């Protein structure tokens, strides 16, 4: 069996964009993209969901503790080894104004996760997994209407431009890359999260990449 760790934020957790209508909750497991990926790939693969709303690559959120991905990555990996592949889908939360991060700095944060995940010392002599980095599906302008007013035009612009900095970083550090804006769009309900059809499209895109990378 091939083990795949999916390390992401609220769109890996599966937050339902209908929260804006008062329907707070999470898409069912068989709707979320990791669950759909499991369904597509079948029983020869084991998909491990590690999604957390608000998670960043390397930044600490003063209002939401434990969101720094780099602080949790090592124990997460050690608790799930052996692993054949790690999928990172992070960066959207890093665009928030409180971090004042340029896209190149967000990509540097992602590179830290990649380098951490490639450390042979984490795997106790087991195979070091391959790494797939996804540029998340960008925000859309509906996000500007959210009641908490945290989304800015600059955030939307940064989310659209992340792929341009992620791709060369992946080449530099020996990770594979996928740009999810080629496959799906964020919901027009909140401009941030994925509806079921987008989760399915993302899962199909990942499935093709997984087959290419680890068979």
100 C-beta neighbours (distance < 10 Å), count? 8
For residue range 53-77, list pLDDT tens digits in order: 999 999 999 999 999 999 999 999 9
Give SS3 for 171: helix
Return the percentage of the chain with pLDDT > 70, whole number. Answer: 99
Q: What is the pTM of this model?
A: 0.97
pLDDT of residue 34: 98
Q: Which of these, 146, 135, 149, lies nearest to 181 by C-alpha position? A: 135
12 neighbors 93 (Cβ within 8 angstroms): no
Please report, for the chain, the start and end positions of each structural domain, with discontinuous segments joined by +: 2-214
pLDDT of residue 130: 98
Return the percentage of the chain with pLDDT > 90, whole number. Answer: 93
Residue 19, Cβ density class (10 Å: 0-12 exposed, 13-18 middle, ≥19 buried)? middle
Residue 128 has pLDDT above 80, yes or no: yes
Q: For residue 99, what is the DSSP state?
A: G
As a whole number of angstroms, the distance between CA 151 and CA 192 comes to 9
CATH number of 2-214: 3.40.50.1110
Alpha carbon of 27 to those of 52, 67, 96, 213: distances in Å?
13, 21, 24, 28
For residue range 75-120, list pLDDT tens digits in order: 999 999 999 999 999 999 999 999 999 999 999 999 999 999 999 9
Question: What's the distance, CA 26 to chain centroid?
Answer: 16
pLDDT grade, residue 148 (50/70/90)? low
For residue range 2-30, list pLDDT tens digits in order: 999 999 999 999 999 998 787 789 999 99
**Torsions phi, psi of 86, nearest 5?**
-120, 125
Residue 149 has pLDDT above 70, yes or no: no
């Amino acid at each position: 069996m091939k083990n795949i760790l999916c390390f992401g934020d609220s769109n890996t957790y599966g937050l339902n964009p209908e929260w804006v209508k008062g329907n707070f909750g999470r898409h069912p497991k068989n709707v979320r993209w990791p669950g759909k990926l499991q369904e597509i790939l079948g029983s020869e693969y084991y998909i491990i969901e590690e999604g957390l709303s608000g998670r960043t690559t390397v930044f600490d959120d003063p209002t939401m503790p434990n969101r720094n991905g780099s602080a949790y990555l090592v124990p997460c990996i050690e608790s799930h080894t052996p692993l054949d592949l790690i999928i990172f889908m992070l960066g959207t939360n890093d665009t928030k104004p409180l971090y004042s991060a340029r896209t190149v700095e967000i990509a540097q944060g992602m590179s830290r996760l990649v380098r951490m995940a490639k450390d042979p010392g984490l795997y106790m002599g087991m195979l070091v997994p391959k790494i797939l980095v996804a540029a998340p599906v960008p925000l859309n302008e509906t996000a500007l209407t959210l009641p908490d007013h945290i989304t800015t035009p600059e955030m939307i612009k940064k989310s659209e431009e992340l792929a341009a900095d992620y791709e060369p970083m992946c080449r530099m550090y020996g990770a594979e890359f996928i740009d999810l804006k080629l496959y799906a769009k964020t919901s027009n309900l909140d401009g941030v999260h994925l509806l079921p059809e987008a989760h399915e499209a993302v899962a199909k895109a990942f499935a093709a990449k997984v087959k290419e990378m680890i068979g």
